[in-house]
Each structure stands twice: as structure tokens, then as C-alpha cells.
């Protein structure tokens, strides 16, 4: 691998239904200050000189193709169908990346405030570590509860991180990790948990409390405020 200028492919996962938003339109296609959330997200990777290609994973491929055409994106390599779960969608994306890829960045389609600094630091770390995942220290005390929501433990907050995306890996490591996960019927909540199952130890690099995943109506209001303030990648 060229450690100075690796070939980087971003997999943007936009296959969710967004049921928590309460509407009939999938959340990635909701308009945020006049443009689809997904378009804002793609912008960060399209504009970055660090990113060579983008693979989009979506179930509503016609809507995605319309966004691509409207915005004249040049880095889109392909659009592939999503799977039953997020892990399945990422697997479909990994199967479709260009053969020359060195580094894979896996990102949520509804997380539009990723910055160039995050991309640069995560890519650099992924070249020498088991992977790099963007995250921030938790602000609140976390409680572990039983099924009745009665508190049974309080973990040390200093050791807890709130994990975001992108999650970045050398291509050989993450493909091998996914193969091991499927061979053992393991399903993780994110790509880092798949890597951890394979015995890897990704390093957390600094994200931002503004690097939110838009999931609820309240998140839409916060994201709109960020855009009005000029906060973007």
C-alpha cells in the first residue's frame, strides 16, 4: 500500500427506512435546508481530495440516481442494493468496491457533518492500526439496566466513547473480518464490532459532537441550525 496516498473508497450506507422519523419518506431523502440529507453527506466525500471513489448502498436506487444526476457527482463508482440489516448492506458495498482500493471508509448516509479533518486523521490511523473509528467521549453518566430498567451497574465514564462514522479500515482487514463474521453467524451493531469479533482493535480518532446521525425530528432541527451557521465539512 502507498502509505502517503492510498486509494480510498467510501461506502455510504443509505438503505435504512428511518421509521423513527415517523414519515413515509426514508430519512436520507428528507430535505434539509432544501437538499436531501444524503446529498449533504455525499458532498463531504465528493469534495475531499482524499477520496477516490464512492459506493452508495441503497434500496431506493431510483431516488439515489436522481440525486447523483442532479448534483453531477463525479466520484460515484456504483450504486448497489442494501441488505436486510446494516451489516448486510455494508457487505454488499464491500463486494462492489474498485479492485485498486487500499482503504475503505464506511459511513452513514444520514451523518452529513463529517469533516475533512476527520477523514484525514482516520485514513492516516487506519494505515498503521487495525482500523480507525471516529468517536467522542460520552458526556453523560451511563447506566447498565436489566429488562425492567432497574440499574445494575455504572461503568466508568472515562473509558466510554460515543462512536460515530466513518469507520475506516485497510481493505484486506475489513473484508477478512466480514468473512469471519458471516462464517460464524455473527451480527454486529457497527463495522468496528465486526472487526473486534475478528480479533482486531481499531483505534478511536476524534470526531465531533456536531457529527450527528439524523434519526429523529429533533435531529432535523439541530442539523438545520448547523447548516444555517455554516457548519459543514
pLDDT per position as a tens digit, 92-111:
999 999 999 999 999 999 99
The whole-angstrom distance between residue 94's C-alpha and the CA centroid of its chain comes to 13
At residue 54 the predicted structure's pLDDT band, cuts being 50, 70 and 90, is very high
Are 37 and 63 spatial neighbours (Cβ–Cβ below 8 Å)?
A: no
Domain spanning 8-228: CATH 3.90.550.10: yes
Q: Are strands 203-206 and 144-145 parallel, antiparallel or unpaired?
A: unpaired
> In the numeric block, which cell numbers belong to residue 2?
502507498
- The domains of the chain are located at 8-228
The predicted-structure confidence for 38-49, as pLDDT tens digits, reads as follows: 999 999 999 999
* pTM for the structure as a whole: 0.93
Look at residues 21, 18, 44 and name the one whose alpha carbon lies nearest to residue 165: 44
Q: 9-23, 171-185, 207-221 — which is least confidently predicted?
A: 9-23
pLDDT over 90 percentage in the chain: 89
Q: Is the pLDDT of residue 233 over 50?
A: no
Partner residues linked to 102 by β-bridges: none
Amino acid at each position: 500500500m502507498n502509505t502517503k496516498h492510498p486509494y480510498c473508497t467510501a461506502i455510504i450506507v443509505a438503505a435504512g427506512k428511518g421509521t423513527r422519523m415517523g414519515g413515509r419518506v426514508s430519512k436520507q431523502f428528507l430535505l434539509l435546508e432544501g437538499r436531501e440529507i444524503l446529498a449533504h453527506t455525499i458532498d463531504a466525500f465528493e469534495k475531499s481530495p482524499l477520496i477516490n471513489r464512492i459506493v452508495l448502498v441503497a434500496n431506493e436506487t431510483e431516488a439515489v440516481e436522481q440525486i447523483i444526476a442532479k448534483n453531477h457527482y463525479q466520484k460515484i463508482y456504483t450504486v448497489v442494493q442494501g441488505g436486510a440489516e446494516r451489516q448486510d448492506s455494508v457487505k454488499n458495498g464491500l463486494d462492489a468496491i474498485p479492485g485498486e482500493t487500499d482503504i475503505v471508509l464506511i459511513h452513514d448516509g444520514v451523518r452529513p457533518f463529517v469533516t475533512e479533518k476527520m477523514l484525514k486523521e482516520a485514513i492516516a490511523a487506519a494505515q498503521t492500526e487495525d482500523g480507525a473509528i471516529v468517536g467522542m467521549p460520552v458526556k453523560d453518566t451511563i447506566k447498565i439496566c436489566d429488562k425492567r430498567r432497574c440499574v445494575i451497574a455504572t461503568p466508568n465514564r472515562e473509558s466510554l466513547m460515543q462512536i460515530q462514522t466513518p469507520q475506516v479500515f485497510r481493505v484486506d482487514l475489513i473484508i477478512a473480518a466480514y468473512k469471519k463474521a458471516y462464517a460464524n453467524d455473527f451480527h454486529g451493531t457497527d463495522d468496528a464490532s465486526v472487526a473486534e469479533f475478528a480479533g482486531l482493535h481499531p483505534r478511536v480518532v476524534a470526531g465531533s459532537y456536531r457529527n450527528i446521525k439524523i434519526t429523529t425530528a429533533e435531529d432535523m432541527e439541530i442539523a438545520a441550525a448547523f447548516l444555517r451557521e455554516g457548519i459543514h465539512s
